[in-house]
Amino acid sequence: LPNTMKLPRLILSAAILLSICVGSAFVDAAASPLDRPNIVIIMADDLGYGDVGCYGGTGVATPEIDRLAAEGLRFTQAYCSAGTCTPTRFSLLTGVYAFRVPGSGIAPPNSPALIPAGTPTIASVLKGAGYHTGVIGKWHLGLGPKPDGPDWNGKLAPGPLEIGFDDALILPTTNDRVPPVLVRNHHVENLDPSDPLWVGYKSPSPEHPDVKNFPNATRISTVHGHRDTIHNGVGRIGYFTGGKAALFRDEDLADRCASEAKRWLTDHADEPFFLLCTPHSLHAPRIVHERFQGKSPMGPRGDAIAELDWTVGQITAALDQLNLTDRTLVVFCSDNGPVLIDDYQDRADELLGDHDPNGPYRGGKYNVYEGATRTPFIVRMPGVVPTGDSEKVVCTIDLAASLASWVNAEVPDAALHDSRDVMKALLGHTDAVGRSALVQQDNGWGSYGYRKGNWKLVRCDGRAMQNADLKMKRTKQPKFALFNLLDDPGETRNVIADHQERAEMMKKELQSIIDE
Ligand code: NG6
Ligand code: CA
């Protein structure tokens, strides 16, 4: 906390205290004691449970994320809903399990918008309650109409603005995909109409080299993919040409995200706001700004954690400067668990030392073991959220219903179907219960995790699981496995044979949730 508490803050804190004492009915319902407090959600990319200092990370210092944890509530049993990015983000926004919607796995470069215009989302619901809403950072939920997808040289709609965001400055896909541009609201930023951006397939040439034809033009080698158009010395997924003035340098992405977030917060400091900030770090290719290069003994992956931490610090510093820290709920989380070598050969595995990206858990990105979805999850709002740890089970999919109920926002009938109001847990109320049951999924490849109490059923219908060992290998898993997370948090002992009745019950419950 800043050392000097200014007078308005004291008055505000007193008002909070008073409303907690007087308005106990409000508090019971976990309603906000403030009139429409600001909300900032920061969702990192591919950050593991054990990657940050306050969750046991040793390989790189994360003072800014640790500061959030010291000033807020650090959840030890919080989840994102999927083992990959697109489904987790889909569920964060819509409050609906992504497995209900075919085609909601990792979105390709030319994906149309996965969330139809007008769908109620966390953003539209908060907007309806008078919030100014913005998204800054990675999107990866598609743009443009079905089936054509984005018109990169024209109006890019539908997109975030059609599902409740007032403002958007987004990396439309992922930093390993084309086109390497940013999109502001409906248009590619800095696009020169005389040099149209073309995404698709054109024969490679020195103007738009690809990895196959120009193998010496890359600075990071890849093995399984990322062999299409080379940009900034890096092979990407997908081909593009043109749009020169709009292309970004990977090294500048974090700075752009932070400066945009600061500017946006400053512009909207006087109105209730909801900012979803989604830094691209630490998604491969991990190419950080020059000033972060070599910062960590863990190589580019560690440097990317340092850069992410800096980005978080820029946002919290902006809130401090604007005197908004005490009236802003900040949530920090990740979109899926860790991956070491995500095709780009950046030595993330060799340089790990004793750093444990998934902490005490098994697995990571792409599967449904705890390491895939158990995420660092911190909620901070000084004076409203106590400091300390919480063991309550919550999930990023719950933020929509929880925040809506907190600010008394109206939720259309049948919207946010799978999102549960766990606001009392998020606010650290002692009588809060959190989620009683939670389904986790992979990328839509047919694996599910079903957590109920301390039991976890792992179901594997589809292809062999990837990265269950954090080495990206595909390994066959039993069709069903049961783990007791209380005495076996690392999911090492499948006890299904000893608990057949429980397993049968959980199989049925999981199936009935899937069939809803
Ligand atoms: C995979 C990519 C991986 C990453 C992932 C999406 C290959 C071989 N692998 O298909 O590099 O981009 O998709 O990651 O191309 S996510 O975090 O956005 O879900
Ligand atoms: Ca991700």
* Secondary structure class of 379 (helix, strand, coil): strand
Residues lining ion ligand 2 (Cβ < 5 A) are: 45-46, 85, 335-336
Residue 5: pLDDT over 50? no
Neighbouring-strand partners of residue 210: 229
Q: What is the pLDDT of residues 209-241, one digit of tens each?
A: 999 999 999 999 999 999 999 999 999 999 999
> In the structure, what pLDDT confidence band is assigned to residue 23 with cuts at 50, 70 and 90?
very low
Query: Looking at 6-10, 243-247, 407-411, 448-452, which range is the least confident one?
Result: 6-10
What is residue 481's predicted lDDT score, i.e. its pLDDT? 98
Q: How far is the CA of 322 from the centre of ligand 1 (A)?
A: 37
Atom of ligand 1 nearest to the CA of 177: 12
Neighbouring-strand partners of residue 19: none
User: Minimal CA–CA distance to 158: which of 137, 133, 141?
Assistant: 141
Rounded average pLDDT over 126-134: 98
Residue 516: count other Cβ atoms within 10 Å of its Cβ.
Answer: 8
Q: How far is the CA of 154 from the centre of ligand 2 (A)?
A: 28
Is the separation of the CB atoms in 261 and 321 below 8 Å?
no
Q: How far is the CA of 284 from the centre of ligand 2 (A)?
A: 9
Task: Give the closest ligand to the alpha carbon of residue 175.
Answer: 1
Counting runs of H as helices and runs of E as strands, what totals does the chain give? 11, 22
Q: How far is the CA of 252 from the centre of ligand 1 (A)?
A: 21
Q: Tell me, what's the ipTM?
A: 0.98
Q: Are strands 73-75 and 377-380 parallel, antiparallel or unpaired?
A: antiparallel
Q: Which amino acid is residue 447, in one-letter code?
A: S
Residue nearest to atom 6 of ligand 1 (CA): 106
Is the separation of the CB atoms in 319 and 25 below 8 Å?
no
Task: Give the closest ligand to the alpha carbon of residue 472.
Answer: 1
308 lines ligand 1 (CB under 6 A): no
C-alpha dihedral (100, 105, 108, 111), degrees to nearest 10? 10
Rounded average pLDDT over 387-413: 98
> In the structure, what pLDDT confidence band is assigned to residue 11 with cuts at 50, 70 and 90?
very low
Task: Give the closest ligand to the alpha carbon of residue 47.
Answer: 2
* Secondary structure class of 337 (helix, strand, coil): coil
220 lines ligand 1 (CB under 6 A): no
Residue 452: count other Cβ atoms within 10 Å of its Cβ.
Answer: 18
> In the structure, what pLDDT confidence band is assigned to residue 78 with cuts at 50, 70 and 90?
very high
Cα distance from N-terminal residue to C-terminal residue, the chain? 45
Task: Give the closest ligand to the alpha carbon of residue 173.
Answer: 1
Atom of ligand 1 nearest to the CA of 336: 17
Q: Map tokens 């049951």 to a residue.
A: 437
Q: How far is the CA of 353 from the centre of ligand 1 (A)?
A: 25
What is residue 34's predicted lDDT score, i.e. its pLDDT? 81
What is residue 31's predicted lDDT score, i.e. its pLDDT? 77
237 lines ligand 1 (CB under 6 A): yes
Q: How far is the CA of 106 from the centre of ligand 1 (A)?
A: 7
> In the structure, what pLDDT confidence band is assigned to residue 191 with cuts at 50, 70 and 90?
very high
> In the structure, what pLDDT confidence band is assigned to residue 10 with cuts at 50, 70 and 90?
very low
Q: How far is the CA of 437 from the centre of ligand 2 (A)?
A: 24
Is the separation of the CB atoms in 102 and 231 below 8 Å?
no
φ/ψ (deg, to 5) at 79:
-130, 155
Cite the beta strand spans of 345-488 per DSSP E. 377-380, 388-390, 394-395, 437-441, 447-452, 455-460, 465-466, 474-475, 480-484
Rounded average pLDDT over 329-356: 98
Is the separation of the CB atoms in 478 and 460 below 8 Å?
yes
Question: What integer best gives the mean pLDDT of the chain?
Answer: 94
Residue nearest to atom 10 of ligand 1 (CA): 106
Q: What is the pLDDT of residues 90-101, one digit of tens each?
A: 999 999 999 999
346 lines ligand 1 (CB under 6 A): no
Residues in the chain: 516
Mutate to test the pocket of ligand 1, among 237, 396, 467 (most ligand atoms within 8 A of CB): 237
> In the structure, what pLDDT confidence band is assigned to residue 203 with cuts at 50, 70 and 90?
confident
Q: How far is the CA of 206 from the centre of ligand 2 (A)?
A: 31
User: Minimal CA–CA distance to 366: which of 466, 280, 447, 453?
Assistant: 466
138 lines ligand 1 (CB under 6 A): no
Which two three-digit tokens encode residue 240?
A: 């593009």
Q: Are strands 183-184 and 187-188 parallel, antiparallel or unpaired?
A: antiparallel
